Chain A
Amino acid sequence: MTATSFVLTVHRDGETLRVSHRPGLSVREILDATPLRVRAACGGSGACGACLVRWQAGPVNPPAMAEYLKLDAGERNAGQRLACQARPRGDAVVVLEHPAPPSPWQSLPADDLAEGPGPRPGWAGPPLGLAVDLGTTHVRLALWDIRLGKRIATRRGANPQGVFGADVLNRLAAARSHPARAEELLTLVRQAILEGLRDILARDVGEVTPMLAEIGRVRLVGNSAMLALLAGRGVAELLEPGNWSRPLACQPEDEAVWRAAWHLPHADLALVPPLAGFVGSDLLADLLAVDMLAAPPGTLLLDVGTNSELALWDGQILWITSVPGGPAFEGTGIRHGMPAESGAIQGVAAAAQGSRLDVIGGGPARGYCGSGLVDAIALLRREGLLKASGRFATAPGAEGYRLDPDQPASALTGADVDLFQRAKAALAAAMVHLLGAAGMHWRDLARLHVCGAFGRTLDPLNAQSLGLLPPLPPGRLSTRPDASLAGCEILLLAEDGESRLAEVAGRARCINLALAPDYDEAFIEHLRLTPWRDGFSAGMGSDYN
C-alpha cells in the first residue's frame, strides 16, 4: 500500500464506486482494475475517443492534445474528458454515462506488476508474446511486445472450471470420469484464456483477429492439476498418490493441433512443466521472480492459493513442498467468503464502536476475502470475543457474529473460524517442516516472501498474532502478489529464462508432506489461534517434562 493515495468516486446509473489509487494514473487505468470499465479500443493513446467520462469535481490535468482532436469546445466546456488522458491530482468525482459492457476481465493493479526483463532487439519472430498464470481460481494474462520489451496490457479473470468445484481433486475426478468431461474442462479454460486475450487486443491494441497471427510465443505456468487438465494428459496419474513426487509430462502431443485450437497460427506454445505432481510451475515462476538462488540463505517463499506451495532456500538446497488449505484464504468455504473483488471486506480495524470495514469499491460489504478474514479474526481475539481454541467466548448463534452490526455479510461463524484454523495450521506446519528439513529455526529466516493475491492486503502483524506467519521483524517480510505471472514473463521474454529455470529445478528437493511423520503433530499444534513460540521448529514435542 502506498503512503499517499487519492479516492476516485465514479457515478453510474445511480450506482457509486469508490476506488483508492496512487497518484499519476489515468482514469482509465484506475477503472481497468475494477468491474466498471470505460469503453476503449486504442490502448489509451487517445486515438479512438471511446472512453468518455464527465468530470464533476476534483483537481485534474488540463485537456491533452488528443482531447482537442476528439472533443469539441462545447463538450470540453461541459466537462467531458477522455478517461485515458485525464489524471486526477487529488480526490475526484466523475460520471460514467456509457461504460463498457460488463466483462469478467480486469487489468491487474499497476502497483503489483514487476518491471520485466527488458527489450530483445534480436527477436525475429512474430512480435507479440503472451504469459499466462493458470490458477485454480483465477487466470492471469500479460501481453508483451517481445522485441521492445514492453508490456501492452494485463488481465485477470475467473477460471471457469470453478463450476466443477473449487477443489482441484474434484476437477481431476470429473475429467477422469468421462472423456467428454475432460474435453469440457479443457475447452472451458482454453476459451477463457482466448477470451482474456481478445479483451486485451480489442481494448489495448485495437484489432483482434489479425493480431492473433502476430503472437509468436506463449508460455503458461500453473499448478500441476491445471496444466494436466489443459494438456489433456496426466489426469489419471495425478489421482494416484504414488505419482505425486514425480515430474509430470504435460506438453501437448501435437503442437499443430494446439495452435489451430487456440487460433494462434504462428505461436510457439509451451506449458512450463511442473516440478512434481504436487509442485506446479507457478511456484517455479515465483522463484524466478524473486531470484531465489541469489537470495540470502534462510529465504522462505509462500505462494498462498487454493493449494499453498512453499520453498525454503538454505544456500545449497531449495526445499519445496505444498499443502492443501488455501481455499479459506480465497474465501472458499467461508459462509460470507469471496475472492478479493468489488464488495469484499479486505481489512478490518478497531473503531470506537465495534469495528470499521475496508470494503473494495466502498459499497456495502458482500463478504470477506482472505486479508479481511485475518483482520477480523485477529480483532475478535484481541477483544477477547474469540478464544485461542477458535471458539467464541459467547456463542454468537447460527447467523454468526457481525463485526459491523449494520452489515449482514460481516458475520463470522464458528465454522468459518474453524476452517481458517485448518488453513493456517496446514501452512504453519509446512513451514515448520521445511525449516526442520533445512536444520533451521524460524528465527534464522532472513526474508519471507508472501506471493499470491492474498499477500496484497494482508496485515502482517495480524497474521503473526494468529500464528499464520512466524513473528519476524516487519523488515524481513515482503509481499509479491503477481510473482507467478512475473516469473512467467521472464520465461516468455528473457533469453536466459530457460537456463535459469533449469538451475532452480536442479537445486530443488521436493517433500511430500503426506508422508512426513511429524506433519500431523505440527498441524495440531498450530491449530490454536496464538503466535508461534520459540520451540516450534525444534522437536515439536510437548513442553511436558
Chain B
Amino acid sequence: MPHVDLPAIIQAYNDAVFDTDKDQAFQIVDAALAQGLCPEDVVFKVVIPAVEDMMSRITQDPDANLAQHFMTAQIAAEVTEKMLPLFRAPPERIGRAVIGTASGDLHSLGKRIVMGCLKSLMVDVTDLGVNVPAERFVDEAVRLDARVIAISAMMVHTATGEQGSLRVRQLLRERGLEERIRIVVGGAPYRYDPELYRQVGADAWAPDGVSAGKVIADLVRGRPPTP
C-alpha cells in the first residue's frame, strides 16, 4: 500500500478551503484517494476536521469573508456526497433536523451554509425551503422525527414576526413537544442583538452558518445548548 501523508493532505485541503478554491480541494481529494486514503478517512479525518478548523479560524479572524463561509460548507457537502456512496458500510447518522427560512423571508443562502455543514457532520437535514409557515415547520418535524427545527431569518420583521419563531414555539407548547424538539435560529438580526433569540422563543442561536452546523448537531445529539 502506498504511503499516505495524512498531515500533508489535511494541510493542503485546509488551504484550498481557506482560499475558497473548490477545484483545488477536489484535486487534493482525488490525489488522496489515489494514494490510498479510504473515503471514510477523507470525510472523518479531512473534511469534518476542516469544517471545525474553519469554524475556529472564521470566528477568530475578523477578515474572514462570506465566500469563505459558503465555500467551507459547499466543499464539505460536495465532497461528503461524493464519498458516501463509496463507504464500505453506510455511516452512522446522528439524527435529523428540519430547516427553512421564516415566514415572509426569502433569503435562502444562510440556510444553505448550515445544510452543507450538517451533511458533513452526519446529521440528516430536510430543507423545507423559503417562506415556511410555522405550522409546516412543526408538522414536518413531527412527521420526520426531527429533533431540531432550524429557522433562518435575515430581516428584523421576519425574525421577530408573529408567524415566525414565536409561532413555532407556541405550537410546540400547545402540542407538548417542547422536550422533544428544539428551536435554533440564525440570521443577521440575531447578530445585532445576541439576546434576541430568547425573545423569539428559540433554544439556541448561532452567529454564522458554519457555527450553526455545530450548534444544531449538538442539539440533535441531545446535548444541552451552550449559552
Contact = CB atoms under 8 A, between A and B. Distances in A.
B131 interface: yes
B135 interface: no
Contact of B19 (A389, A395, A515, A520): A389
Interface in A350-402: 387-392, 395, 398
B18 A542 contact: no
Given A388-B19, A388-B20, A544-B26, A169 B66 contact: no
A411 to B, nearest CB: 14
Given A173-B157, A240-B104, A524-B71, A390 B21 contact: no
A521 B112 CA distance: 9
Contacts of A241: 104-106, 130-131
A169 B189 CA distance: 14
B78 A544 contact: yes
Nearest to B20: A389
B104 A542 contact: no
Given A542-B26, A543-B26, A422 B130 contact: no
Contacts of A543: 23, 26
A173 B112 CA distance: 26
A414 interface: yes
Interface string A510-545: 000011000011011001100000000000001110
B34 interface: no
A417 interface: yes
Contacts of B30: 544
A240 B103 CA distance: 9
A528 to B, nearest CB: 6
A392 to B, nearest CB: 7
A290 interface: no
B22 interface: yes
A421 B67 contact: yes
Nearest to A278: B106
B108 interface: yes
A418 interface: yes
B26 A527 contact: no
Interface string B91-133: 0000000000000111111001000000000000000001100
A544 B74 contact: no
A192 to B, nearest CB: 26
Given A389-B18, A389-B65, A392-B63, A527 B71 contact: yes
Interface string A401-424: 000000000000011011001100
Contacts of B104: 239-241
Contacts of B62: 398, 414
B120 to A, nearest CB: 15
B78 A542 contact: yes
Contacts of B130: 241, 514-515
A242 interface: yes
Given A389-B65, A514-B130, A528 B106 contact: no
Contacts of B82: 544
B13 interface: no
Nearest to A515: B130
Interface in A411-439: 414-415, 417-418, 421-422
Contacts of B22: 542
Contact of A418 (B19, B67, B106, B155): B67
B19 A387 contact: yes
B106 A390 contact: no
Contacts of A392: 63
B19 A527 contact: no
Nearest to B30: A544
B106 A389 contact: no
Nearest to A387: B19
Contacts of A418: 65-67
Interface in A218-244: 239-242
A398 B68 CA distance: 19
B108 A389 contact: no
A387 B63 CA distance: 13
Interface string B43-76: 0000000000000000000110111101100100
23 contacts: A173-B156, A239-B104, A239-B157, A242-B131, A387-B19, A389-B65, A390-B67, A390-B68, A395-B63, A398-B62, A418-B65, A421-B65, A421-B66, A514-B108, A520-B108, A524-B67, A524-B70, A524-B109, A528-B21, A528-B67, A542-B26, A542-B78, A544-B26
Interface of A: 169, 173, 239-242, 387-392, 395, 398, 414-415, 417-418, 421-422, 514-515, 520-521, 523-524, 527-528, 542-544
Given A389-B67, A527-B67, 6 more contacts: A391-B19, A391-B68, A417-B65, A520-B109, A527-B70, A528-B67
Q: Which 8 A-B pairs have the closest CB atoms?
A: A514-B106, A527-B67, A418-B65, A389-B20, A544-B26, A414-B63, A524-B70, A389-B19
